[in-house]
Amino acid sequence: MDFSRKVVFVTGGSRGIGRACAAAFAERGAQVAIGYAANEAEANRTLSMLRQSGKAIRFDAADPAACASAVESVVADFGRLDVLVNNAGVAVDGLVVRVKDEDWDKQLDTNLKGAFALIRAAARPMMKQRGGAIVNVTSVVGETGNTGQAAYSASKAGLIGLTKSVARELASRNIRVNAVSPGLIDTEMTARISAEARARMLEQIPLARLGDPSEIANAVLFLASDEASYITGEVLRVNGGMYM
């Protein structure tokens, strides 16, 4: 999986899965830009891991105008955009009868509307290039649902539908669109889960362990690479058998 002379934009790239993806792309020769929401120190830490020239862009993924501006900034600095990884996401857990409108909107706007805005912006330079790859990071709960995560699950399920629709639209321009569906991955987000809840989840995983961010990054790189040149509209589950 060689990404020499390729430009990659990874959102949510300051930590966890996004950081693992950015570092893996850079290790294989890509020029990598990362998007982040607020934590400049962590974004700079990711940049220090990139072997090639990198760029960090602070923007709100829930703001369509900011999404368009971020993509334009990548193209302006690097001259092209070959791969977009939509990884930015937020989760605000709560039982459905207690979910506030603003918490629902925050998750749908960031996880789904933001991904749509970034795809819309990235499609333009990719169409001019007559090629590109987009990988959306969804979640196992977008396929199974989960108690206390109605909004998060809905946003990730919507991302799967978005992936398949855009894959059909952009295929004629040689732009492939796929998704990776992680299970329980060892990140800061899952670290907030109680020990009791984690134990219950582990009982549902045949491989009996959490996944590592690098294992998601490997799947993202494959789908973005030329080795996956005949794959589009696919949802690749990386969940240890949690959902088959």
Active site residues: 152
Look at residue 130 and give its three-state secondary structure: coil
Look at residue 134 and give its three-state secondary structure: strand
Distances (CA, A) of 101 to 69, 106, 146, 152, 238: 27, 9, 19, 13, 31
- Helical H segments across the chain, by residue range: 16-27, 40-48, 64-78, 101-108, 114-129, 141-144, 150-170, 188-191, 195-203, 213-224
Distances (CA, A) of 127 to 11, 33, 119, 174: 20, 20, 12, 8
For residue 53, what are the contacts with CB-CB under 8 A and spacing of at least 6? 31
CA distance 122 to 221: 18
